[in-house]
Structure 1
Amino acid sequence: MEAKCIGFDGTTSEISISASVFGRDYNETLVHQIVTAYMSNARRGTRAQKGRSDITKSTHKLWRQKGTGRARVGAASNPLWRGGGRIFPSSPQENFAHKVNRKMYRVGICTILSRLLSENRLHLIEEFVVNTPKTKEFINKLRTLDLTNVLIITEEIDNNLYLSSRNVPMVGVIDVSHIDPISLLKHNHVLISRGAATKIEELLK
């Protein structure tokens, strides 16, 4: 399939891209599954709550078993009491991992890229190079392309591009090996260099 490749001088050209990567039908269920799995696998699981045995309270019986007219009660660490332990406490060892097959993940990324292209939110460019590590030069290039809230995907990130883009809000710069569904979906536009597009096709075919 053919797609437009834009340039900083305002010219456009047609380039050939893989339909199996950028021309798939949208599968909302699959996209939801890989996004949920990606976010779950990123959880560190550091939350912790105290169970009944972890509460530092006296084990003395608060009042006698019979004769008071009140319900029988044991220690103050009872989960039914204020300040007592949790019945099923969360543990740092809790596992939030979701398994997603490699083929499903690749198809899901292709589905997202295809949807972005069909909505005119994915743009191709010959290359995105910054000659000096200056934020001003980087912003001027984005203004030339009239793009805001953009994710830039390049074949590899050089030091100039990294230094000039790291302080710009709502702009992300990653290489092909670090593509993930969250980064693709949270930005309004995705800008991919021609070399990166070729490398993506090789990885996702």
Structure 2
Amino acid sequence: MSLQIPAINGGDAAQALDVSEAVFGQEYNETLVHQLVTKYMAGARAGTKAQKTRSDVSGGCAKPWRQKGTGRARVGSTRSPIWRTGGVTFAAQPRSYDQKLNKKMYKVGIRSIFSELLRQGRLAVCDDLTPAVPKTKEFLKKISGIQVKRLLVVAEDLNENLILAARNIPYVAVVTPTSVDPVSLVSADKVIATAAALKQIEERLA
């Protein structure tokens, strides 16, 4: 069975695209989508925070004063964490925040997102997205009538005219089927894709 993705701005029905119900008609799995978004955002974290332990701090090899007879506390090293110039007790070290999610779960999660976008009317198809000249006003004519705060454009390739025309619009992001991510899909108020891009996505998620 197949579903229809409507044309941009509810255009001519002939411009609508037939897609597989197995990919774009899946039941919404909120738990899996949350896990998918969490994994993506966690993987984007740098994880480069680093602090010095007492073994990393320079100096302090010698005992600062003798054990007894000075009237001061017994100290073995100036690198102790209780000293101002000492190391950190539980020092943070570089780490990876990436979470494991197998390919099957990833596919199901992305299919679930696309299916929900279609059900909510936030997914549309338009083949005439690339302006003839790399001008912002030309691209705005292509998407005229769409009043959203976040617009995601999915094109089969990164055409130079499209990139240059859309890059100055703060609420528009342009991606390809291979670089589309769950966070961009979930946060977009509207997703516009070319027919070729949707077919690529359909093949990848089948």
TM-score by length of 2: 0.84
- The aligned counterpart of 1:140 is 141
1:198 and 1:186 mapped to 2: Cα distance? 22
Q: What's the Cα RMSD here?
A: 2.5
| C-alpha contact 1:127 1:194 (8 A) present in aligned 2 | no
Equivalent position amino acid for 1:75 in 2: S
Equivalent position amino acid for 1:95 in 2: S
Alpha carbons of 1:81 and 1:117: their partners in 2 closer, same or farther (altered >3 Å)?
Answer: farther
2:119 and 2:55 mapped to 1: Cα distance? 57
- The aligned counterpart of 1:11 is 11
Q: Please state whether the residue corresponding to 1:191 is helix, strand or coil.
A: strand
- The aligned counterpart of 1:155 is 156
1:82 and 1:117 mapped to 2: Cα distance? 59
2:47 and 2:38 mapped to 1: Cα distance? 16
1:90 and 1:150 mapped to 2: Cα distance? 39
| C-alpha contact 1:4 1:12 (8 A) present in aligned 2 | no
Which one is further off, 70-79 or 189-198?
70-79
Give CA deviations for 1:148-177 in whole Å, capped at 9, x if unaligned. Answer: 410000122211101111121021001111
1:45 corresponds to 2:63: no
Alpha carbons of 1:84 and 1:188: their partners in 2 closer, same or farther (altered >3 Å)?
Answer: farther
Matches within 5 A, 1:1-205: 1-7=2-8, 11-13=11-13, 14-59=16-61, 61=63, 65=67, 72-92=74-94, 94-205=95-206
Alpha carbons of 1:29 and 1:82: their partners in 2 closer, same or farther (altered >3 Å)?
Answer: farther
Q: Please state whether the residue corresponding to 1:91 is helix, strand or coil.
A: coil
Q: How many angstroms does 1:180 deviate by?
A: 1.0
Q: After the TM superposition, list the runs of 4 or more consecutive aligned residues in structure 1 that deviate by more than 6 angstroms.
A: 67-70
Structure 2, gaps ≥5 residues long: none
Equivalent position amino acid for 2:185 in 1: L
1:69 and 1:117 mapped to 2: Cα distance? 78
Alpha carbons of 1:90 and 1:3: their partners in 2 closer, same or farther (altered >3 Å)?
Answer: same
Equivalent position amino acid for 1:29 in 2: T
Q: Number of aligned residue pairs: give it.
A: 203
Equivalent position amino acid for 2:37 in 1: V
Q: How many angstroms does 1:98 deviate by?
A: 2.2
1:24 and 1:72 mapped to 2: Cα distance? 69
Identity of paired residues, percent? 43
Q: How many angstroms does 1:4 deviate by?
A: 4.5
Q: How many angstroms does 1:127 deviate by?
A: 3.6
2:157 and 2:123 mapped to 1: Cα distance? 19
Equivalent position amino acid for 1:131 in 2: A
